[in-house]
Structure 1
Amino acid sequence: MEASMNRDAWEGLSAQEKEERLSGMVNHFPTGMKYEGLETFERFGQRIETGVFSYEEQRFVFVPGDRVTLGWDRWQNGMNEETSADLLETVSEYGVEDVDSFLMSQMSPVREVHIAPMLVECSSHSLGWIEVTEAEAMAQENAYFAEELEKFKLSDLNQYELHQEFRLVRQGEAVQIFWFNEDLTLEYLIKEEEKAGFGLLTEDEWEYLYGGGCRTLFPWGDSFDYTMKLKHFGSLEEVEGIVDEAAETDPSLLEKDDRPYDLVLPNFFGVQFAGDPYNYELTLDPSDNGTMILKGGDGGAMICGGMGPLVGFLPAAAVYYRDGNAGELEWEDMFDDMNYRRVIRLTDWVNIIRLITPISGAWAH
């Protein structure tokens, strides 16, 4: 990978130089892709000014390439006392005595990789569920749908799901309807996205997008952040502060809980993740495009096992977590809770840039 394509070189360009290059690249992307302008993203001590694109109401960001070390086998700075005590107490209940060995067994191996520059979708899509209109849902002739939809409209529920059949989600006065995509296969998904001009992320790319090449356990460091608000737990500060059941209904506590879940906020690349251990994100093995590797979750196994926020959220929060049990699951068992995102690898990016702008400065290598 040429030096002019990497993250350091990109950060050295002026805003005008970035605008010129990004706006000129649109014609080389799938029809309908639009350049929206520059935005700056900053989080966990990393920052980038980059381009935002739109395609069929979905946002994409330009992510420069880099040479990075991925995977985890040792601490960078080490845990603080609170995290260390919490982790040891939690795993020791399950017979784990060596905390470091336990963590290393949960992570992808350490390796050095080249990450190509890419245009990556900011949000992921549900793989198993397709949004449909009410008319399209009625046409499925499901024996339960019409009755359950009417019940849902009259209820106070925010969401209702009939397992692997349909899902109803309240959006203000409207109801979103999702139908389970039972006939989908991985091979079909890859081929259809390739036809449209997109690829699916590899595990290497996912880990780079999530951690930016960090060498710590989490994107923000080696210690857990007990100020976060997490799915399934809420605000951890409030959980720690509740001393009796009566306090759970205290309105003052609920008022503080309006903020979004921390792990779903855009990161330093402008990319958002599910932040939910019950969900997986589909990635492909870099050495075998037809083999999938699941990231960002464990199907909720550790939360269901009663391991609490720290260990329960390792699959969603630890950068290099890899679910060792995923290989035992069948495709049909996983894609109910699986997401994916689209990517365009800009492996010929330098050649494209040379077509649209004069070569100078950092690009003349």
Structure 2
Amino acid sequence: MELQHLNRTAWAALSSVEKEQYLQELTELPEGVAYEGLRKFERYGRCTETGVFSYEQRDFVFVPGDLVTLGWDGWHEGMNEETAIDIRETFSEYGVHDIDAYLREFSSPVREVHISPMLVECQARSLGWFEVSEEEAMAWDDGEFAKEWEKFKQSDISEYERYQHFRLVRHEGGIRIFWFNEDLTLERLKEETEKTGFSLLTEEEWEYLYGGGCRTLFPWGDSFDYTMKLKHFGSLQGVPGIVDENAEPDPSMVEDDGRAYDLELPNFFGIRFEGDPYRCELTLSQTGELMPKGGDGGSLICGGLGPVAGFLPATVVYYRDANIGELEWEELIDGMYYRRVIQISSSCAPSQK
């Protein structure tokens, strides 16, 4: 199979045996990448049977490429009445009356893009924080960690953070320690990622992975899904329109019904996203500049806009945070995540036999 023909349509037409053979014969992958088998992922009415790979205990999936239209400049289906009333009434309180103009302003432009096939890390990882042992933390201690460590062990709180320094989290009977990655720079991240044979996502690749080239506002359509369970708000089912009493998210008021948060579930490519407007994912623009996606640091949700409008940065496929230039790098990486990809070039794709 030739690389230029490996788009989603061609991939879907292959039998499971043909897909397996193709994936097993991929060459020139970073050392340690292992093929684990085929899996089928279904979400939002779309389905992909694809290969799962592993690398250092992290899962990757094969994503076929395609020629797609990305960006947003108008409605494909249009919002239903419930969503329209919710968003318009919410934003009108803040002086925004033309919702279409607002969405165009905060969306990437419409453009046709060729996306190459790739292996994509299923779950993003924190950029600003990395896990360390107690011994490592003590060795790096400047006098604050040891004191807070002892206090935390004697307390019953679930999490404690010293801003941009260290974070303590109770987990399955133990305590995990995270250290802030203060020495990290974007250039250093690029270099270290490329050195191991991986690359970072571009904005266009992220939009393709999140929405699959959809022409709607959300990956599932133009109307909000009120059956979802959202982080910071819990289940929205049965709650029409704006939830005034929960406009300012309060984790202590959210009941845990055991359901997973819908926006964190694997999508039709088998990829998990953060699904949290307080977090964002690192992607790069066409010129290599930082272009975070999937969140705005919580600006809208903290402004009291409620679950629908507050979650626009985490749910709208083509949303761009226009205020990115106002934050320092250290502030950005505090809530930023990233994932690695492996580009499938003609040199590593097996030839058709």
TM range (shorter): over 0.9
Identical residues among aligned pairs (%): 62
Aligned 1:191-340 pairs, distance under 5 A: 191-237=191-237, 254=255, 257-286=257-286, 288-289=287-288, 291-340=289-338
1:172 matched to which residue of 2? Answer: 172
Tell me how far 1:254 sits from its aligned partner. 4.0
Tell me how far 1:237 sits from its aligned partner. 2.4
- Say whether residues 1:29 and 2:29 are aligned partners: yes
Tell me how far 1:292 sits from its aligned partner. 1.0
Which letter maps to 1:335? I
Tell me how far 1:223 sits from its aligned partner. 0.3
1:363 matched to which residue of 2? Answer: none
Question: Deviation string for 1:288-336 (max 9, x for gaps)?
Answer: 12x1101001110001111111110000001000001102222122111
Secondary structure class of the residue paired with 1:114: strand
Q: What is the CA–CA distance in structure 2 between the aligned matches of 1:313 and 1:122, rounded to whole Å?
A: 22
2:8 matched to which residue of 1? Answer: 7
Q: Does the 8 A contact of 1:70 with 1:213 survive in 2? A: yes
Q: What is the CA–CA distance in structure 1 between the aligned matches of 2:224 and 2:244, rounded to whole Å?
A: 22
Aligned 1:40-79 pairs, distance under 5 A: 40-79=40-79
Q: Does the 8 A contact of 2:82 with 2:240 survive in 1? A: no
Which letter maps to 2:14? L
**Further displaced range: 313-322 or 93-102:** 93-102
Which letter maps to 2:31? T
- For the aligned residue pairs, the C-alpha RMSD in angstroms reads 1.9
Paired residues, what number? 344
Which letter maps to 2:159? Q
1:141 matched to which residue of 2? Answer: 141
Q: What is the CA–CA distance in structure 1 between the aligned matches of 2:129 and 2:163, rounded to whole Å?
A: 11
Tell me how far 1:2 sits from its aligned partner. 5.7
Question: Deviation string for 1:15-49 (max 9, x for gaps)?
Answer: 01111111121x42111111100000000011100
Q: Does the 8 A contact of 1:3 with 1:9 survive in 2? A: no
Aligned 1:47-196 pairs, distance under 5 A: 47-196=47-196
Q: What is the CA–CA distance in structure 2 between the aligned matches of 1:194 and 1:243, rounded to whole Å?
A: 47
Tell me how far 1:156 sits from its aligned partner. 2.4
Q: What is the CA–CA distance in structure 1 between the aligned matches of 2:279 and 2:21, rounded to whole Å?
A: 38
Q: Normalised by the size of structure 1, how large is the TM-score?
A: 0.90
1:362 matched to which residue of 2? Answer: none
Q: Structure 1: any 5+ residue segments left out of the alignment?
A: 246-252, 360-365
2:350 matched to which residue of 1? Answer: 353
Runs of 4+ in 1 over 4 A off after TM superposition: 238-245
Secondary structure class of the residue paired with 1:258: coil
Tell me how far 1:66 sits from its aligned partner. 0.2
Q: Does the 8 A contact of 1:72 with 1:108 survive in 2? A: yes
Which letter maps to 1:297? G
Q: Does the 8 A contact of 2:226 with 2:239 survive in 1? A: no
Question: Deviation string for 1:94-124 (max 9, x for gaps)?
Answer: 1111111111111111110000000000011
Which letter maps to 1:338? M
Q: What is the CA–CA distance in structure 2 between the aligned matches of 1:205 and 1:244, rounded to whole Å?
A: 38
Tell me how far 1:347 sits from its aligned partner. 2.5
Q: Does the 8 A contact of 1:90 with 1:307 survive in 2? A: yes
Cα distance change of structure 1 residues 254 and 306 upon mapping to structure 2, 3 Å threshold: closer
1:249 matched to which residue of 2? Answer: none
1:250 matched to which residue of 2? Answer: none
Secondary structure class of the residue paired with 1:138: helix
Question: Deviation string for 1:146-183 (max 9, x for gaps)?
Answer: 22222222322222111000011111112111100101
**Further displaced range: 296-305 or 329-338:** 329-338
Which letter maps to 2:337? N
Secondary structure class of the residue paired with 1:104: helix
1:17 matched to which residue of 2? Answer: 18
**Higher-helix-fraction structure:** 1
Which letter maps to 2:297? G
Q: Structure 2: any 5+ residue segments left out of the alignment?
A: 247-253
Q: What is the CA–CA distance in structure 2 between the aligned matches of 1:14 and 1:30, rounded to whole Å?
A: 27
Q: Does the 8 A contact of 1:121 with 1:271 survive in 2? A: yes
Which letter maps to 1:72? W
Q: What is the CA–CA distance in structure 1 between the aligned matches of 2:224 and 2:149, rounded to whole Å?
A: 41
Q: Does the 8 A contact of 1:129 with 1:179 survive in 2? A: yes
Q: What is the CA–CA distance in structure 2 between the aligned matches of 1:78 and 1:43, rounded to whole Å?
A: 21
Q: What is the CA–CA distance in structure 2 between the aligned matches of 1:99 and 1:164, rounded to whole Å?
A: 36
2:251 matched to which residue of 1? Answer: none
Q: Does the 8 A contact of 1:87 with 1:311 survive in 2? A: yes
2:249 matched to which residue of 1? Answer: none
Which letter maps to 2:350? I
